[in-house]
Structure 1
């Protein structure tokens, strides 16, 4: 129970800190954000409810596999730090290819465009995912957790790290260009991920990595920031509104 408590505390604190760093005092933007924040936080609440109510979660899958003597951990007895690194890299690698699939296949793009329809980017954008896309991603995470079967604390830590990465890369926070360039040798930054939401690039936007920039470099999908302004969103996307976005995949 304490692991759940500390994980929730870290995630909540991290989200609140990023949210506070974004505050710019712009009254007009705050008014315009109300409807999209309702949409984003509403989709986030549904996503968390799905993860909590689904009978098989990453934690349950790993615990069951470990108890049954299955999974990589049962045969290699990895140290906790090694198991964490293996699970994190594996989950990130799988998420990269799932993300590419979401952009490449029309039916999956209908789900994923709910995320890209956001006309601004801030920390709430990390919550803006269609529930069916959430289920697809969760199924992949469950399969990986069962295959590796690390300790519960490792699973919770990786889940927390990946969720914080999603918040961070969408945050409306500007790092100094030299610091961002150094960080982007390994990690996705807000300016790096902003190129992924470039409206002019459409579905073939590149920069699909969720935490590490390595995958984009390895597989030729990296776009380097060049200092130019990027307009985010989708021109013909349905307007914000929770029910409108939930029904969006039905629209071609």
Structure 2
């Protein structure tokens, strides 16, 4: 287990970037053959906006890496965190850390992004995509990403986890992000069975429906257990899904980068009470 975690600790940046490219490319190509919904759109033109937003996120991630490194140095020196209170097997510490990261840095912060008005304005950028595919997983306003990463670091501090745990979580998170957003059609029985534990493509698509109550459901990224536990789980007929958000009537704005970056500050977009 130590050698396994050491691999992620020593993983160079180019390999992490390659992982993002490979996973995204795999699901982006796969959905061209096994599409859940036939989307009448220009795939490359649609991806351009999402890839530019990904570029912003990756740049912020480089800067945030310095903050992250500082936190792990402090944790090593201080012995702070729940994991430092006992001596559990490494595999169990890893499982517990992944559970807490998925709960706090994915489910809980995602819930807040929908319920806190100023956060919801940032998160509208993600939901304004009218053609959800694998590249939608990269579509986040830069400030939205900063909030998510801040909650991930909160989870790291609470647990006092080693850096290898966090880096392994990041690798898993990349896979699930593109898997759940990909416009792929899994056999319904398989998708439903997997959704008992994991977030699946069908399950997450309801979250991207343009209207409530489905928009405020299925907040999870890796594990579906949080949605089931807190009563936010939805699984219906995917034929009834319509992508986008009813707060933005102009669907052509979904691919307008300048418009997307201004959404949080656009007073013409009136939030519902």
* TM-score of the pair, normalised by structure 2: 0.83
Alignment of 1:36-185 (within 5 A): 36-54=46-64, 56-94=66-104, 95-185=106-196
Equivalent position of 1:243 in the other structure: 258
Task: Please list every run of 5 or more consecutive structure 1 residues that lacks an aligned counterpart in the other structure.
Answer: none
* C-alpha deviation, 1:234, in angstroms: 1.7
Task: Determine which of 202, 214, 217 is the counterpart of 2:228.
Answer: 217
- In structure 2, relative to structure 1, the CA distance for the partners of 1:80 and 1:17 (3 Å cut) is farther
- In structure 2, relative to structure 1, the CA distance for the partners of 1:29 and 1:193 (3 Å cut) is closer
Task: Tell whether the 8 Å contact from 2:211 to 2:246 is kept in structure 1 after alignment.
Answer: no
- In structure 2, relative to structure 1, the CA distance for the partners of 1:11 and 1:38 (3 Å cut) is closer
Q: What CA deviation, in whole Å up to 9, does each residue of 1:67-95 have, x standing for no partner?
A: 32222333334433222211211111112
Distance in 2 separating the partners of 1:57 and 1:81? 26
1:4 aligns with 2:12: yes
* C-alpha deviation, 1:159, in angstroms: 1.2
Distance in 2 separating the partners of 1:205 and 1:172? 20
Task: Tell whether the 8 Å contact from 2:34 to 2:185 is kept in structure 1 after alignment.
Answer: no
**Aligned length, in residue pairs:** 251
Task: Tell whether the 8 Å contact from 1:103 to 1:203 is kept in structure 2 after alignment.
Answer: no
- In structure 2, relative to structure 1, the CA distance for the partners of 1:225 and 1:203 (3 Å cut) is closer
Task: Determine which of 14, 28, 32 is the counterpart of 1:19.
Answer: 28
Q: What CA deviation, in whole Å up to 9, does each residue of 1:50-71 have, x standing for no partner?
A: 0111264445423421232222
Superposition CA RMSD, Å: 2.5
Distance in 1 separating the partners of 2:218 and 2:62? 30
* TM-score of the pair, normalised by structure 1: 0.89
